[in-house]
A and B are shown apart, each in its own frame.
Chain A
């Protein structure tokens, strides 16, 4: 079963962390990725740039208009995701709990099953 484990970050929370804490998060993700690769559960992972760099695109009367993002008036934004293929939902939740973000107040990790997927699997 495929699951998207998405990480919802609060940029203010991330900024408030010490260098050591940030490094620990980075290392935690590194170890997590390595373990997922070894178990054969990782399909893909992506991290996104800061929400301040987002652009919102809309097309009105055939004319595209681009404004500054982000789209949502929220404190938390999508920071990146893991796409995994694992045995069942319990395993997906177990994997998500290993992500360092889960230990930090203000950062959220969400798990949802994939319904449809297409694209280059060799990528």
Chain B
């Protein structure tokens, strides 16, 4: 087996093996360390010696042996225990279920979102600490401390390795979906650093979302999130120029959009909208699908986009949703109507001085012909953003209007 194939296999097996170990021994923190060591051993041995017949069993055995090594310092006892561990026939536990439990554990509410993200990538995604550190542009020591702190917190919170039930399960699932969404966005909104690693994060988020959907096929928001990721990912080639400049949606070369991903995403949106629930991921995916459906920017069904934003505003009120609805409203009812809706956001302190509010207002002012005010707003928006790509884009917009 070639090395990338071994890597893929290990990434697939890591959460299953970890799940099996935690189910058997408890102690998430120690099990996680042991599995990382077993995976490391496999990356060295398998490409050289070949993949064992039962790779899952091999990993469980080696990780169990490491775990017991760590747990028992007494030499004789360790020998006896590890000998016993090698004889253990891997139980036929449903590994897919374990992976979901593991994902729920990593998204424990005692952790901050960035710790949930890091732990998920390591325990469920099978990425090494070094890979995660590179993807988030922090030193490895920083990421190692964060992951180790996260594991301690989970232990301190006294979590058991079971799926929460009832409303708690529903609530935790929302956190899981949010973490996957954060991972995807980290990969999708490349601002600086190695683009390649960022693209990996988007792939990883999609892989994990597919995995969750395979286990919860009836949850419409899970389906909606996967659809949203696929539809956004389909546009990745058209989103930036070769030099890394942003290309807005209406100027993108739509022949560069990935039609297969769009078809798959659109199918999923349709399936999710047929269900009883209507959540924010489904609605955002439906909006993305509406954009994807138009062969040219002019053919965009803005009335439908606006209607979807209206529903989204009711389901999950948020000033950013209102802001986006203002864009759709300006397309259907004219720029002044869009500007009037934007004015309702002026009192919202979450939006005060936000570059998105400034840039959308600039865009609509430009449409009404008030070029002086548009120029000023583009400039202020450029000052307010923390993204270099966005800043270049907004400065370029302003430069066209310089009085």
Contact A85 B113 (CB under 8 A): no
Q: Which of B52-110 contact A (CB under 8 A)?
A: none
Binds B, one of A12-20, A40-48, A53-61: A40-48
Q: Report the separation of the CA atoms of residues A39 and B144 in the bound assembly, to the nearest whole angstrom.
A: 10
- The count of chain A contact residues (Cβ–Cβ below 8 Å) is 22
Contact B192 A117 (CB under 8 A): yes
Binds A, one of B34-42, B132-140, B343-351: B132-140
Query: Is B145 engaged at the interface, CB distance under 8 Å to the other chain?
Result: yes
Contact B113 A122 (CB under 8 A): no
Q: Report the separation of the CA atoms of residues A42 and B145 in the bound assembly, to the nearest whole angstrom.
A: 10
Query: Which residues of chain A have C-beta atoms less than 8 A from B115's C-beta?
Result: 40
Q: Which of A84-116 contact B (CB under 8 A)?
A: 85-87, 113-116
Query: Which residues of chain A have C-beta atoms less than 8 A from B142's C-beta?
Result: 40-43, 85
Q: Say what secondary structure dominates the interface of chain A.
A: loop
Query: Which residues of chain B have C-beta atoms less than 8 A from A85's C-beta?
Result: 136, 138, 142
Contact B192 A123 (CB under 8 A): no
Counting contact residues on chain B (CB < 8 A from A), the size range is 20 to 34
Q: Contact partner of A121 among B140, B146, B149, CB < 8 A? A: B140
Query: Is B45 engaged at the interface, CB distance under 8 Å to the other chain?
Result: no
A121-B145 contact in complex given A115-B387, A116-B192, C-beta closer than 8 Å: no
The distance from the CB of A83 to the nearest CB of chain B, in whole angstroms, is: 10
Query: Which residues of chain A have C-beta atoms less than 8 A from B137's C-beta?
Result: 2, 117, 121
A39-B146 contact in complex given A87-B112, A115-B388, A121-B138, C-beta closer than 8 Å: yes
Query: Which residues of chain B have C-beta atoms less than 8 A from A73's C-beta?
Result: none
The distance from the CB of A63 to the nearest CB of chain B, in whole angstroms, is: 33
Query: Which residues of chain B have C-beta atoms less than 8 A from A38's C-beta?
Result: 145, 149
Query: Is A75 engaged at the interface, CB distance under 8 Å to the other chain?
Result: no
Query: Which residues of chain B have C-beta atoms less than 8 A from A41's C-beta?
Result: 142, 146
Query: Which residues of chain B have C-beta atoms less than 8 A from A113's C-beta?
Result: 386
Q: Report the separation of the CA atoms of residues A44 and B137 in the bound assembly, to the nearest whole angstrom.
A: 12
Q: Report the separation of the CA atoms of residues A2 and B113 in the bound assembly, to the nearest whole angstrom.
A: 15
Q: Contact partner of A116 among B113, B138, B141, B388, CB < 8 A? A: B388
Residue of A nearest to B143 (CB): A40
Q: Report the separation of the CA atoms of residues A39 and B382 in the bound assembly, to the nearest whole angstrom.
A: 33
The distance from the CB of A4 to the nearest CB of chain B, in whole angstroms, is: 12
The distance from the CB of B123 to the nearest CB of chain A, in whole angstroms, is: 16
A121-B113 contact in complex given A39-B146, A40-B145, A116-B388, C-beta closer than 8 Å: no
The distance from the CB of B266 to the nearest CB of chain A, in whole angstroms, is: 34
Q: Which of B145-171 contact A (CB under 8 A)?
A: 145-149
Query: Which residues of chain A have C-beta atoms less than 8 A from B391's C-beta?
Result: 115
Q: Report the separation of the CA atoms of residues A113 and B136 in the bound assembly, to the nearest whole angstrom.
A: 15
The distance from the CB of A45 to the nearest CB of chain B, in whole angstroms, is: 12
Contact B192 A121 (CB under 8 A): no
The distance from the CB of B98 to the nearest CB of chain A, in whole angstroms, is: 27
Query: Which residues of chain A have C-beta atoms less than 8 A from B148's C-beta?
Result: 40
The distance from the CB of B349 to the nearest CB of chain A, in whole angstroms, is: 13
Q: Report the separation of the CA atoms of residues A44 and B193 in the bound assembly, to the nearest whole angstrom.
A: 17
Residue of B nearest to A112 (CB): B386
The distance from the CB of A6 to the nearest CB of chain B, in whole angstroms, is: 17
Q: Report the separation of the CA atoms of residues A117 and B391 in the bound assembly, to the nearest whole angstrom.
A: 15
The distance from the CB of A89 to the nearest CB of chain B, in whole angstroms, is: 10
Q: Report the separation of the CA atoms of residues A80 and B147 in the bound assembly, to the nearest whole angstrom.
A: 28
The distance from the CB of B353 to the nearest CB of chain A, in whole angstroms, is: 12
A121-B133 contact in complex given A43-B142, A87-B112, A116-B192, C-beta closer than 8 Å: yes
Query: Which residues of chain B have C-beta atoms less than 8 A from A123's C-beta?
Result: 139
Q: Report the separation of the CA atoms of residues A116 and B244 in the bound assembly, to the nearest whole angstrom.
A: 14
Query: Which residues of chain B have C-beta atoms less than 8 A from A116's C-beta?
Result: 192, 388
A40-B146 contact in complex given A85-B136, A116-B192, A122-B140, C-beta closer than 8 Å: yes
The distance from the CB of A41 to the nearest CB of chain B, in whole angstroms, is: 7
Q: Report the separation of the CA atoms of residues A40 and B193 in the bound assembly, to the nearest whole angstrom.
A: 20
The distance from the CB of A76 to the nearest CB of chain B, in whole angstroms, is: 24
- 7 CB-based A-B contacts, threshold 8 Å: A38-B145, A40-B148, A41-B142, A85-B138, A116-B388, A121-B133, A121-B139
Given pairs A40-B145, A41-B142, A85-B142, 5 additional interface contacts (CB within 8 A): A2-B138, A86-B114, A117-B137, A121-B138, A121-B139
Q: Which residues of chain B have a CB within 8 Å of any CB of chain A?
A: 112-115, 133-134, 136-149, 192-193, 386-388, 391
Across chains A and B, which 4 residue pairs bring their CB atoms closest together, nearest first? A40-B146, A40-B145, A85-B138, A121-B139
